[in-house]
Amino acid sequence: MEKNTLLQVWPIPAFDDNYIWCIHDEHFALVVDPGQSKPVLKYLEQKKLTLKGILVTHHHADHTGGILELLRALDGSVPVYGPAGKDIPGCSNVVHEGDKLEITQPRISLKVSEVPGHTLSHVAYFANMQANVVEPILFCGDTLFACGCGRLFEGSPKQMSESLAKFAALPKNTLVYCTHEYTLSNIRFALAVEPNNFNLITWAQEAQALRKLNLPTLPTTIGQELQVNPFMRCDQSEVIEAARQVSGRSGALAPTEVLEVIRSWKDRF
């Protein structure tokens, strides 16, 4: 009988600030959003892992650019899971809201959520606790970042707001694997929104220390983001007040309007 090895999730750095996350059980591996193939192939070889599948969150090249080269470099094909709507190179399994992916090597059960905003056809993959997963894990692509959210290239503030609300409803201990190391610049912006957020000030110091050692600031958690991420806090009075001031608007602002204002502020920041 196969022994039930705990799953591990490790970052494979790519480009300047991307992470290609590798989920493995010491034998079999999945990778998420391989924008490049070379660092993935090198990692698999070093760790003696066999790639068994590719998960894609959205169509941007920094998340998909390595897929075809990976498929070419590996003997035999592996499934490539990705959203509908835009052609993902090599995509063999189109996924939709609520789909359950029962992957056997490595053994993991993943749930698909559609989370439009950054792009229209963006999906996230969530694994709740199971035999070999001790804490829930989320692969959110460019929808949620530590202390930030993705730019609205295709979707509306309302869509992003609803997508982030889906994440907010996940267990607080969910480990969140974002695909970019944007944390320090996101924190600088978050501090402009909420200069008195004590959790944020503490996190700023911790994140700076990690980056000085060249360590990832990820994964973050849903619980942490609810305390420090202005885009997850659009219903909090300090964030609403900041949105009122930059927009010059008075009166009540709904969370979606707050998100719209601070997202466009961040674009100019």
Instruction: State the residues that interact with Zn ion by CB under 5 A.
Output: 60, 142
Nearer to Zn ion, 52 or 118 (CB): 118
Nearest to 225 by CA among 234, 238, 212: 234
Check residue 48 and report its DSSP letter. T
Site for Fe ion in 97-116 (CB under 5 A): none
Q: Which does 260 bind (CB under 5 to 8 A by kind): Fe ion, Zn ion, none?
A: none
- Rule CB under 5 A: choose which of 31, 121, 126, 142 binds Fe ion: 142
Nearer to Fe ion, 59 or 233 (CB): 59
Q: Report helix, strand or coil for 144.
A: strand
Nearer to Zn ion, 60 or 266 (CB): 60
Enumerate the β-bridge partners of residue 130.
133
C-alpha–C-alpha distance, residues 192 and 172, integer Å: 25
Tell me how many residues contact Fe ion (CB under 5 A): 2
- Rule CB under 5 A: choose which of 14, 36, 59, 62 binds Fe ion: 62
Report the nearest approach of Zn ion to the CB of residue 57 (Å): 8
Report the nearest approach of Fe ion to the CB of residue 168 (Å): 22
Nearer to Fe ion, 62 or 114 (CB): 62
Contact 246, 169 (CB under 8 A): no
Nearer to Fe ion, 52 or 58 (CB): 58
Q: Report helix, strand or coil for 123.
A: strand
Report the nearest approach of Zn ion to the CB of residue 56 (Å): 11
Stretch that binds Fe ion, among 54-62, 124-132, 198-206, 211-219 (CB under 5 A): 54-62
CA–CA–CA angle 11, 82, 110 (5° rounding): 65
Nearer to Zn ion, 142 or 194 (CB): 142
C-alpha–C-alpha distance, residues 269 and 266, integer Å: 5
Stretch that binds Fe ion, among 55-63, 67-75, 97-105, 200-208 (CB under 5 A): 55-63
181 binding Fe ion? (CB under 5 A): no
Q: Footprint of Fe ion on this chain (CB under 5 A)?
A: 62, 142
